[in-house]
Structure 1
Amino acid sequence: MWPVDRTLSPGELLDPRYEVVPFHGRVDELAELARWWDDGSRCSVLLLHGPAGVGKTRLARHFQAGSGVVVVDDADLVTGLDLHEPRVLLIARTPGWWWSAVRQRATRQGYRTDDLAVTPCPDEHETSFATACAHFAYALGLTLPTAAAPDVATLHELHLAALAEVCATPAHWLVTTDPAPGRLAEDALAVALLDDRISPDRTPDALQTLLRAAARLPHVRRRAEELFTAHPELADRAAVAALRILAEWPATAGAVARRVFDDPRCHGDPLPAILTRTLAEQASTRLERAELHGLLAARAALASLHEEALAAARHEVALYRQLAAEDPDEHRPALANALRDLGLRLVAAHRPEDALAASREAVALCRVVAVEDRDATSRLADALDQLSRRYAALGRRTEALVAVDEAAELYRGLARAHPELFRVDLDEVTRRRSALARGDQ
């Protein structure tokens, strides 16, 4: 508990850092946290997630005391979250793709990863309400009320109702008197935005509060959608992590897409992938969906979302298969490209046998395309080079040499005709062929 030598404001009374209301309950969650702490892993990261106000921070702070665990609150808002400590407890409202990216990076660093959902505990609400009323009354020097616990969803709402009962003040007015950062600021903003004449502030912190509140409350989301649709340039000002919320809304995704994709702050972040997923879900034609899933696979891979990239690549291939079945001449080349990309995603997902199968099919398709269109010879050469790599990864050196020899022969012909375009490719394939012959790969 933080030391205080004064009467706390309403916002501070509700702030879990002050622990005006002592922690109680959550026996099952504490047992799960203890098991995580004692699981024997050298390095481990756990995500504690649940709705805003459910009591995640209180639970984490109570468990942290004396344990030495590192706690990162609002971890979904931390850009480029990196792990250094052996035991890390993350707190966020929802898992989502930001957590998937962190989890996959952490796994590669040798961390064990897990998550624990924190849900409302209505069976504890009567006790929690009475406890909160007693401690708020004591802290403020007011009379202890005798009201029953209201029917609310979260611990935050329960404590808010208890404080309002102690103060004999309507809860929504009490919130607006002293909005602290986080949930209280969102609540205060939500009350203000019930009046359509009020326009949200446009500073980076205010936009983050707006979008976090919009993820919870329909009327705030409507105001946020109107604001960003009319002023997409606000995406340049808002924090990248907050924009992940906006990227999931069909009404605003198209408006801010170009600004997000061109923003260097977003490179390596899940945001462009989340936005592309939303655009793909809105696509009106099968061809547009296929193209967007190809982009989604690439953008997900850049954000360390290898599982999601693989799923998108599979979807892209499935869509191009349908299109190629209806019009082979038009869509067979795109299907071959999609299969080559699928091979790359399978390699990243440590599925070498599946990657080999995708590369073999890509080569077969490229042979057909190259017969029909001589300009597609370079595509066949590249597919053969990729196939050689797949064979080499599985230790099948003889087959890898056959594939790379054919790729080198094709590149030699291309380099003779267009040396400025294909000399580098020929040199690279030749070096790889020599390394394979020596047994270096």
Structure 2
Amino acid sequence: MQQSVRVESGVGYGVQGADIHVFGDGVPVYLLANRTPPPVSDARFLRELPSRMLNAHFQIVDFTGRQDELADLREWRDKESRLAVRWLHGPGGQGKTRLADQLAAECTALGWKAVTALHGPGLVWPSPSMQEDLRLTDAAGVLLIVDYADQWPRSHLTWLFSNALLYHMIPTRILLLARSADAWTPLRATLANNQVDVSTTPLRSLPDGPAGRLEMFTAARNAFAARYDLQDVTRLAPPSPLEDQEMGLTLTVHMAALVAVDASAQGCLPPRTPEGLTLYLLDREHLHWARLYGDGTHELTPSRRTYRTPPASMERGVFTAALTGALPRAWAIRVLNSLQLAPGAEQVAADHAHCYPPLTPGPSNEAEHLSALEPLYPDRLAEDFLALTLPGHHADYPARPWACATVQELLTRESDGFAAPWTPRTLSFLAAAASPGRWPHIADHLNRILLDDPALAVAAGSATLISLADIPEIDPQVLQDIQLWFPSGPYPELVPGKAAIVRRTTCHLLAGTSDPAEQAALHTELAVSAGQAGWNEEALAVNEKAVRIRRQLALEQPAQLPYLSRSHSRQAIFLSHLGRLHDALTASEQAVRIQRRLEETHTGEAGDLAYALSEHSNVLAELGRLEEALAALEASVEIRSRHLETRDDRRSYAMALNNLSMVLGKLDRFHQSLEVSVAAFMIRKALYEENPADSLPGLADSANTLGTQMMRLRWFDKAVFLGEAAVHFYRQLVQVNQDRYEPDLAMALTNLGLILAEVERPDEALANAVESVKLNRSLASTDRTAYEPSLANALSNLGLRLSLQERMDEALPATWEAVQIHQRLASDDWDAFGERYAMSLSNLAYQLAKVGERQDALDTSKEAVVHYRKLSETNSAFISELARTLHSHARIRLHLHEEEDAVLQAATEAFTLYDKLAARLPEGFAAYLPVTLTTVADTLSVLGRETEEGEIRQCIENADFAAAANVLAAWR
């Protein structure tokens, strides 16, 4: 296999064996790259700027210490689970990157494929034409490492998690490196599917005892000394006491070792404090800039140019690079031009690239065009440099008068009003420098910046928002201003940051108010934000406080009852997300009870009662109590039908009708379901004709519902038309709002695939099934509770479609995954998921029989029949599925030549059930009568009962199913 990536203008990227996800403008969401060993670095290059030796990219120091953490990662790698995700978090400088790379090196040695993920919306590509072979030929497993994971928007991570690279039948591990665990909580709750093993591990400070730290210091000292050609360095002791709290970072211990070695080579004494280590290394940066500028014969490119940037200009350039990160060269020139640095932007960029060359340059003739402004490394040193350059500290380091103006210039919005693309990094680095225990004066700068433009914090993303909320010195007014700028609507990537800001402002505002109503409102807002972030336990706890306050208020102020009702409905939502469905039912019942009381006293709003009934019906439906859910919906519909004055009233009424039709359909009340569904469709069609802009979602919803109903009634032409219309409408809506409408598109694709299969369009049915699984897998990664059942349904459908095309090696894994998800869901709540589990078992049995797994096919098919028989005893709506499963069981047994009498019994029962169903709804079930009766005849043939077989086949030929029923009854 070969792949060619040709680029005439710009850069190109290609992969083999994996997916590429791109934005609409063609920018990749992320890049995947094979792990490469560290570069061989020239010792003279490293000595020029000692800080280079601290960059994990060069791996100057052999991996030392952290043996317990490495052993834990090995154990995680070697677990039996196929797919496992771990969030490894700790402060900057703790050694996360080096630990991850050591694991990657060991995995590579064991035959694993080690891959790194680079956040694509970053501004610099690793090379102008990047091609990665990610095929897993003979690979023992896959390790994917994602650095700065807390800086990725959650939606980008979920796209990464859906990459095909991660879904091969070999062990796969995803290691996410981050500074904190805040962004992990909502991500953990929404990972792709039930096979994901999730865990989190904090990378703690080094042990207080000097032994482990001394071992780490000694290894680093010896590695650095080798680059200086120093022979005997055993006399070089740590310049700072290793047991000090400030020496708890791996980076700080390495800094102590580096400064000790460099000071010895320079013939001077090292500083004695951790702060002094930082100042020493930054002084060496200044000295290097001065030496280059002072050496007029130093050649950057020997044949063409010399270094001509004064140290003051280089200092400001390095300060700027720390705030922007590496940029495409054209962007870097524009930034430097805005700062008016001598001797000009082009020269400063070129000289800066000599001091700080790109870590992953392209070919030598293209390197200078690839990127500029590579920042100072490691990040923690760059953060300290920013803090020391900005005024307000008391360290022995000169602050610069231009520093504040430079930050302000970089954060100035573009002419179109958008924040500069480096804004997330700029604010993130400043917030990290201001984190507790570091440089509190940076909070003053952040306060001034964000009081002037609080929306910048929102543009910076969740990781920065979380950091800002954790800084004690940030003005609460700043956080309140930021809160006002959060956009409405579903923005998953902002949810964790918003929740952190709301949590901090809520604590501040609660401390300043004694008004119970205001306290309840604050608790409610925090509960909603926490729930959106996936912090369901916190959301529940906070909402309980709101409920308690509202309940007390309602005793004295009846006007508070509507608020109490809404709080109970919210409580039901949070409890449902936590799997506490019966507690959720109690809460929703209380909401309905309050609204009923208000109705009796004529003090309530009809719309509030309809809302409470709707939420109550959702819980009832989840519990499988369909008759009660139906009653609640019918009451809600009745209320809505009396209030049709406005366009919104009609829209709500149509939605209630559509929901009612779906419950009726689940109860096998097809004609009534169809009647209600058509009524909803007609209202929505009229609304669409009046104003398409706000009515397309409703029309798409009705088309989707009506299409599936037409299929069940075997009106296939209408079903295909409506199913295709629904998919078409939802594709339009996804272009407008992907987060909101992608779940609906996934559902519509599944339904259309089922319809197309019925009309013998197998290739189109399969294509829809494949797309549905892909979308549902991505959606399940954003909300497991909400979308995992849909993923399982889509997988089951895909398995069936593949099996019908004899692609059994692909069909069985898909169906088996569906069975596993449904089994887990059903074990937690049989009423809600028992039918889906039985359905997927039936499909699996059919496929196992096709590949010759005789005993497994029989056992699985028997189990499906048992489950459907149990379901049909309590709900007649499942009789049709029992008939289908009995017939499938009969065909499997017949195919495997198993106990023909048992085959005859199952086939006969299936026909009898279908005969009763067809008497009630011929258009829905009459087509199954000749099919099941043929299985009866085939079984009689195998049994050698030729006379009886002839009778049955004559009934089939004459379509006289009443006579066939009489014949079968006579046998019994």
For normalisation by structure 1, the TM-score amounts to: 0.89
Task: Give the Å deviation of 1:440.
Answer: 4.4
* Corresponding residue SS for 1:45: strand
Alignment partner for residue 90 of structure 1, among 172, 176, 180?
176
Task: Give the Å deviation of 1:307.
Answer: 4.2
Aligned letter for 2:544?
R
Report if the CA contact (8 A) 2:462-2:496 is conserved.
no
* 1:191 maps to 2:388: yes
* 1:129 maps to 2:217: yes
Partner of 1:315: 545
Q: Distance in 2 between matches of 1:370 and 1:350?
A: 31
Task: Give the Å deviation of 1:65.
Answer: 1.0
Alignment partner for residue 72 of structure 1, among 142, 146, 163?
146
Structure 1 residues 3-18: aligned runs within 5 Å: 3-5=40-42, 6-8=44-46, 9-18=49-58
Deviations 1:372-399 (A, max 9, x none): 4455122112212222222222122332
Q: Distance in 1 between matches of 2:559 and 2:660?
A: 34
Q: Distance in 2 between matches of 1:397 and 1:263?
A: 31
Partner of 1:29: 69
Q: Distance in 1 between matches of 2:252 and 2:433?
A: 15
Partner of 1:393: 622
Task: Give the Å deviation of 1:95.
Answer: 0.8
Partner of 2:315: none
Alignment partner for residue 153 of structure 1, among 213, 223, 248?
248
Comparing 248-257 with 180-189, greater Cα deviation is found at 248-257
* Corresponding residue SS for 2:427: helix
Deviations 1:23-64 (A, max 9, x none): 122221122111111111121111112232222221111111
* 1:382 maps to 2:611: yes
* 1:341 maps to 2:561: no
* 1:433 maps to 2:660: yes
Q: Cα gap change, 1:264/1:358 in structure 2, threshold over 3 Å: closer, same or farther?
A: closer
Partner of 2:190: 105
Comparing 5-14 with 302-311, greater Cα deviation is found at 302-311
Q: Distance in 1 between matches of 2:631 and 2:623?
A: 15
Task: Give the Å deviation of 1:366.
Answer: 1.1
Q: Distance in 2 between matches of 1:133 and 1:421?
A: 72
Q: Share of identical aligned residues, percent?
A: 29
Report if the CA contact (8 A) 1:48-1:117 is conserved.
yes
Q: Distance in 1 between matches of 2:489 and 2:599?
A: 38
Partner of 1:357: 586
Q: Cα gap change, 1:289/1:141 in structure 2, threshold over 3 Å: closer, same or farther?
A: farther
Aligned letter for 1:359?
S
Task: Give the Å deviation of 1:336.
Answer: 0.5
Aligned letter for 2:94?
V
* Corresponding residue SS for 2:571: helix
Deviations 1:312-361 (A, max 9, x none): 43333233223334x33132211101111222222233322122111100
Report if the CA contact (8 A) 2:435-2:470 is conserved.
no
Report if the CA contact (8 A) 2:610-2:636 is conserved.
yes
Alignment partner for residue 58 of structure 1, among 81, 98, 104?
98
Partner of 1:172: 278
* 1:41 maps to 2:81: yes
Comparing 332-341 with 216-225, greater Cα deviation is found at 216-225
* 1:405 maps to 2:631: no
Structure 1 residues 220-299: aligned runs within 5 Å: 220-233=441-454, 234-235=456-457, 238-249=460-471, 251=475, 252-261=478-487, 268-283=494-509, 284-285=512-513, 286-299=516-529
Report if the CA contact (8 A) 2:486-2:498 is conserved.
yes
Deviations 1:120-165 (A, max 9, x none): 1343111211221222122123462624332322111111111111
Q: Cα gap change, 1:115/1:266 in structure 2, threshold over 3 Å: closer, same or farther?
A: closer
Report if the CA contact (8 A) 2:90-2:179 is conserved.
yes
Aligned letter for 2:387?
A
Q: Distance in 2 between matches of 1:277 and 1:42?
A: 37
* Corresponding residue SS for 2:145: strand
Q: Cα gap change, 1:78/1:174 in structure 2, threshold over 3 Å: closer, same or farther?
A: farther
Deviations 1:185-224 (A, max 9, x none): 0122233346456445243233321111112414245334
Q: Distance in 2 between matches of 1:264 and 1:344?
A: 17
Report if the CA contact (8 A) 2:81-2:197 is conserved.
yes
Structure with larger Rg: 2
Q: Cα gap change, 1:63/1:371 in structure 2, threshold over 3 Å: closer, same or farther?
A: same
Q: Distance in 1 between matches of 2:61 and 2:388?
A: 25
Q: Distance in 2 between matches of 1:344 and 1:236?
A: 27
* 1:213 maps to 2:456: no
Q: Distance in 2 between matches of 1:297 and 1:61?
A: 39
Q: Distance in 2 between matches of 1:181 and 1:127?
A: 22
Count residues in correspondence: 437
Report if the CA contact (8 A) 2:575-2:583 is conserved.
yes
Aligned letter for 1:347?
S
Report if the CA contact (8 A) 2:461-2:493 is conserved.
no
Q: Cα gap change, 1:437/1:47 in structure 2, threshold over 3 Å: closer, same or farther?
A: closer
Q: Cα gap change, 1:36/1:71 in structure 2, threshold over 3 Å: closer, same or farther?
A: same
Report if the CA contact (8 A) 1:175-1:188 is conserved.
no
* Corresponding residue SS for 2:88: strand
Aligned letter for 2:212?
E
Report if the CA contact (8 A) 1:136-1:166 is conserved.
yes
Aligned letter for 1:93?
R
Q: Distance in 1 between matches of 2:489 and 2:225?
A: 50
Structure 1: any 5+ residue segments left out of the alignment? none
Task: Give the Å deviation of 1:272.
Answer: 1.3
* Corresponding residue SS for 2:199: strand
Q: Distance in 1 between matches of 2:153 and 2:662?
A: 41
Q: Distance in 1 between matches of 2:497 and 2:58?
A: 34
Structure 2: any 5+ residue segments left out of the alignment? 1-37, 108-113, 115-142, 167-171, 264-269, 272-276, 286-375, 394-398, 411-422, 669-972
Report if the CA contact (8 A) 2:562-2:608 is conserved.
no
Deviations 1:95-119 (A, max 9, x none): 12x1111111116564211112222
* Corresponding residue SS for 2:189: helix
* Corresponding residue SS for 2:87: strand
Q: Distance in 2 between matches of 1:346 and 1:51?
A: 34
Report if the CA contact (8 A) 2:543-2:571 is conserved.
yes
Alignment partner for residue 379 of structure 2, among 167, 182, 198?
182
Q: Cα gap change, 1:354/1:126 in structure 2, threshold over 3 Å: closer, same or farther?
A: same
Q: Cα gap change, 1:158/1:376 in structure 2, threshold over 3 Å: closer, same or farther?
A: same
Q: Distance in 1 between matches of 2:445 and 2:542?
A: 29
* Corresponding residue SS for 2:40: coil
* Corresponding residue SS for 2:500: helix
Aligned letter for 1:360?
E
CA RMSD of superposed structures (Å) = 2.8
Q: Cα gap change, 1:263/1:278 in structure 2, threshold over 3 Å: closer, same or farther?
A: farther
Q: Cα gap change, 1:79/1:267 in structure 2, threshold over 3 Å: closer, same or farther?
A: closer
Q: Distance in 2 between matches of 1:347 and 1:78?
A: 29
Q: Distance in 2 between matches of 1:287 and 1:131?
A: 61
Task: Give the Å deviation of 1:70.
Answer: 1.3
